[in-house]
Amino acid sequence: MYTIIKLTALVLGAVILLPVFGGRPAAAQKMTAEQLISRHVDAIGTAKARAAVQTRIISGTAQVIFRTAPAGQAIGKAVLASEGTKQLLGLSFPSPVYPREQLTFNGISFNAAFATAGTRSVLGNFLITNDAVFKQGLMCGALSTSWPLLDLEKRQANVEYVGIKKIDGHNLHELRYSLRGNSDLKITLFFEADDFRHVRTEYERVVPAPMGKVEYTNVQEREGRYKMIEDFSLFKPEGELNLPHIYTIRLSVDTVNGTFLAEWTVKLTNFEFNQKIDPAAFNVSTP
pTM of the model: 0.86
Strand boundaries in 147-192, DSSP class E:
157-167, 170-179, 185-192
Domain span at residue 235 reads: 33-208+219-282
Three-state DSSP at 68 gives: coil
Distance, CA of 26 to CA of 7 (rounded, Å): 41
Spell out the residues 6+ positions from residue 239 whose beta carbon is closer than 8 angstroms to its own. Answer: 49, 53, 271, 273
Give the Cα separation of 168 and 18 in Å (integer): 11
What is the spatial order of strands in the sheet that 241-255 belongs to?
110-112, 100-105, 86-92, 72-83, 55-66, 258-273, 241-255, 224-238, 198-207, 185-192, 170-179, 157-167
| Of 118, 116, 136, 120, the residue nearest 128 (C-alpha) | 120
From 262, 245, 286, 261, select the one nearest 102 (Cα to Cα). 286
**pLDDT at position 180:** 82
Tally of CA atoms within 13 A in the half-sphere of 225 that contains its CB: 6
Q: Calculate the CA 212 to chain-centre distance.
A: 36
Distance CA 22, CA 26 (A): 12
Query: Quick one: pLDDT at residue 121?
Result: 97
Inside any domain, residue 21: no
> Is 130 a member of any domain?
yes
- Phi and psi dihedrals of 141, rounded to 5? 55, -140
Q: Is 163 left (phi over 0), alpha (psi -120 to 50) or beta?
A: left
Any domain includes 226 = yes
Instruction: Give Cβ neighbours of residue 31 (< 8 Å, ≥ 6 apart).
Output: 161, 173
pLDDT by 10-residue block (mean), the chain, 287 residues: 37 28 45 97 98 98 96 97 98 97 97 96 97 97 98 91 95 95 90 97 92 52 92 98 98 95 98 97 82
The CATH code of the domain that includes 62 is 2.50.20
Our separate counts of H helices and E strands in the chain read 4, 12
Instruction: Flag whether 108 is in a domain.
Output: yes
Which amino acid, 240? E
Q: Work out how many domains the chain is built from and give that number.
A: 1
Question: What pLDDT, on the 0 to 100 scale, is given for residue 156?
Answer: 82
20 belongs to a structural domain = no
Q: Residue 28's pLDDT is what?
A: 40
